[in-house]
Amino acid sequence: MTTPFLSIIIPAYNEESRLPRTLERVFVFLKTQPFSSEIIVVENGSSDRTLEVAHEFSEHHPNMNIIREEKRGKGNAVRRGMLEARGEYRFICDADLSMPIEEVQKFLPPAIEDFDLAIGSREAPGAIRYNEPSYRHWGGRAINLLIRLLILPGLNDTQCGFKCFRADVVEDLFPRQTLMGWSFDIELLYLARRKRLRIKEIPIHWYFDPDSKVSAVRDALRMIGDIFQIHLNSARGRYDLKP
């Protein structure tokens, strides 16, 4: 079986309304590219027609795979998709497609070289945010300040939902992942830092989605608890064990 150049992993929980538009845009883009690719939709315990919508698209696209992961948690869905993907490069893509899919080229050679993982950034020089309310922007900056102070200094946007990993990095990091909720990004980046991997922040164009499922206060409190759990895991040597 031929190894695709790029795998795009889309975690999907109750996304029947947004998923069709996202998949259509992704497939239109990929048809114009010279590289081989696959799309993996990980349906994550939805109560709507997300799974049916994904299957309807897969009937017309042989390079699309669907995984049904009944255990809830975005981190759990992403982990499952990344480890079952086959691509040389594996890209996490939020189902709302708040970053235009054309921007994925910034995360791949030849646009970027000498990296182990590349993370989309709404704060790196050259990034542009569209239509974001000021309260959401400053709430996000406050969360990032906590993340930088408590665990990941120097990374200005760890929670953007667009990230690209080399295949060998996926196989090393994701089996060690223990957090299956919203904070999984922080844990993976912490592990990457421990291993001295090359992390690059990629400035992107990002469009605010008023239907976003993120809650600044609720998710900030969860993240603080998860950050202390990561430090505890590290102190206990959990990340030193073979996965």
Residue 44 scores a pLDDT above 90? yes
* Least confident stretch, 78-82, 84-88, 137-141, 201-205: 137-141
Residue 228 scores a pLDDT above 90? yes
Q: List the structure tokens of 118.
A: 């590349």
Band of the pLDDT at 214, cuts 50, 70, 90? low
Residues 24-29: what's their mean pLDDT? 96
Residues 160-176: what's their mean pLDDT? 97
Task: Measure the CA–CA gap between 178 and 181, rounded to whole angstroms.
Answer: 9
Q: What is the pLDDT of residue 139?
A: 84
pLDDT in tens, 171-187: 999 999 999 998 999 99
Residue 94 scores a pLDDT above 80? yes
Residues 147-152: what's their mean pLDDT? 96
Task: Measure the CA–CA gap between 184 and 78, rounded to whole angstroms.
Answer: 9
Residue 164 scores a pLDDT above 90? yes
pLDDT in tens, 188-208: 999 999 999 999 999 999 999
**Is there a contact between 92 and 40 (Cβ–Cβ < 8 Å)?**
no
Q: What percent of the chain has pLDDT over 90?
A: 85
Task: Measure the CA–CA gap between 39 and 23, rounded to whole angstroms.
Answer: 9
The topology under which CATH files domain 6-240 is Spore Coat Polysaccharide Biosynthesis Protein SpsA; Chain A (3.90.550)
Band of the pLDDT at 30, cuts 50, 70, 90? very high
By three-state DSSP, how is residue 39 classified? strand
Q: What is the pLDDT of residue 182?
A: 87
